[in-house]
Amino acid sequence: MLAAFQQTVSKTEHPALSSIALLQTFFAFVAAILLLVSLHELGHLLVARWCGIKVLRFSVGIGKPFYTKRWRNIEWCLAPLPLGGYVKMVDTREGDVSPEDLPYAFDKQPPLKRIAVVAAGPLTNLALAAVLYCISFSIGGVTQLRPYVGEVETPSIAAAAGFQAGDKILRVNGRPVTNFADAQTEIVLDLEAGIITVDVENAQGQPETRTINAAGTPEARAVAKRQTGLGMQPFKVSDKIGEVVADTPAAEAGLQKGDKIVSINNISTPAWRDWSKIIAENPGRSLKIGYIRNGKEYTAAVIPVPHKLAEGKTIGQLGVRPAADEAWDKKIRHHYNPDFAESLRLGWQKTAQYTTLTFSFFGKLVTGNASLNHISGPITIAEVAGKTAQIGWQPYVEFLALVSVSLGVMNLLPIPVLDGGHLLFYTIELLFRRPLSRRVQDWGLRFGIAAMLAMMVLAFFNDITRLFG
């Protein structure tokens, strides 16, 4: 459940800037994986030592180690592939064990100790998420966008459902929502499950119901596959230019921040959407625009730059971004600075919310009520890591928290090979006072390996599809 960050107008960057952004994305991704994986495995290690189990190796990364250091009778390693890690303990199932080490072997411990060791990794990730949220909230404060609809695109899923500018979303399928992000997440994850009812309060303060019936449609598939939006956003734009991008047709025509475009080829364009639509429909064509600056009207000739979208369509771009509707922004944006105790409470609350939501998502995948296209791999994670890092430290920290929740929940799934599969085996052993047969465990491991390989292939396929359209 990674947020897709979209801009109104794409910026054509200088190659050097693109390289810098690429490097930033790489380092932001590697730092995220190393932190989350290291602490996950450290959770296993610390509880194993506390339970009296002998630990042989702690590795961050997969593959042949390129750095090794021995400390406290443990081999600490760094391996080249930063997509995982492991803790190697004394275990009779993995080779011969000296008689003096037998009491300290993992597989010779009672089920409760093994359960504690296995559960420590995912639980560390969940605890880390709560801490990261707490740090973010206590230092940077909490910014929420109230669940108001600012604008609705046409055509779109939101428009087909009857959403209108000014709607305040109250409930999604009966579940109350308090901010726009949660409302949108609830809707997106329910798109394939069937009809969605959204209770709103319209701009006139009257209760109404919007019904979304998009399951199986190309629009719903695009939301999951390409992380496109529902066609509604919380913000409103004004009819004035908020930013002019350098070295674009708008800059060459002399347009400035605060200008208001009122006509194109003598056709009146009273709203931002009116003239931006014409710009998009005329890539590479000369257009005469009329604009107002300081109460006076001027004209200029522009040629929109052709820009090819992921789906293959080419649109024209002028190189401007709209100014926000400041009055509306004040209405929907809520920012406050909680104290440390409140930040800690909010951190645990946010972690619990996303943990429940993630478990619910995996449940919908199993029942066929959620699209497999929602599954993301390392490429998408890296992209979001880079974008959040570019925005600022707080979005990046909250991104780390969200990925930590996803990592913790995924490892708790009852799939052999994952921590959750081992927890299932050991819990059965605890309840029935005997372990599952070696044959059953071997078949379970084969199933787990096959399932994880299939999920990895699907995740990479989805990533490549999103990247190249």
Q: Which positions are catalytic?
A: 41
Tokens 């109250």 found at: 170
Structure tokens at 180: 């726009």
Of 2, 21, 12, which is closest to residue 390 (Cα–Cα)? 21
Handedness of CA 322, 220, 312, 263 (dihedral sign): negative
SS (H, E, C) the chain: CCCCCCCCCCCCCCHHHHHHHHHHHHHHHHHHHHHHHHHHHHHHHHHHHHCCCCEEEEEEEECCCCEEEEECCEEEEECCEEEEEEEEECCHHHCCCCHHHHHHCHHHCCHHHHHHHHHHHHHHHHHHHHHHHHHHHHHHCEEEECCECCEECCCCHHHHCCCCCCCEEEEECCEECCCHHHHHHHHHHHHHHCCEEEEEECCCCCEEEEEECCCCCHHHHHHHHHCCCCCEECCCEEEEEEEECCCCHHHHCCCCCCCEEEEECCEECCCHHHHHHHHHHCCCCCEEEEEEECCEEEEEEECCEEEECCCCCEEEECCEEEEECHHHHHHHEEEECCCHHHHHHHHHHHHHHHHHHHHHHHHHHHHCCCCHHHCCCHHHHHHHHHHHHHHCHHHHHHHHHHHHHHHHHHHHCCCCCCHHHHHHHHHHHHHHCCCCCHHHHHHHHHHHHHHHHHHHHHHHHHHHHHHHC
Torsion of CA 231, 236, 240, 245, to 10 degrees: -60
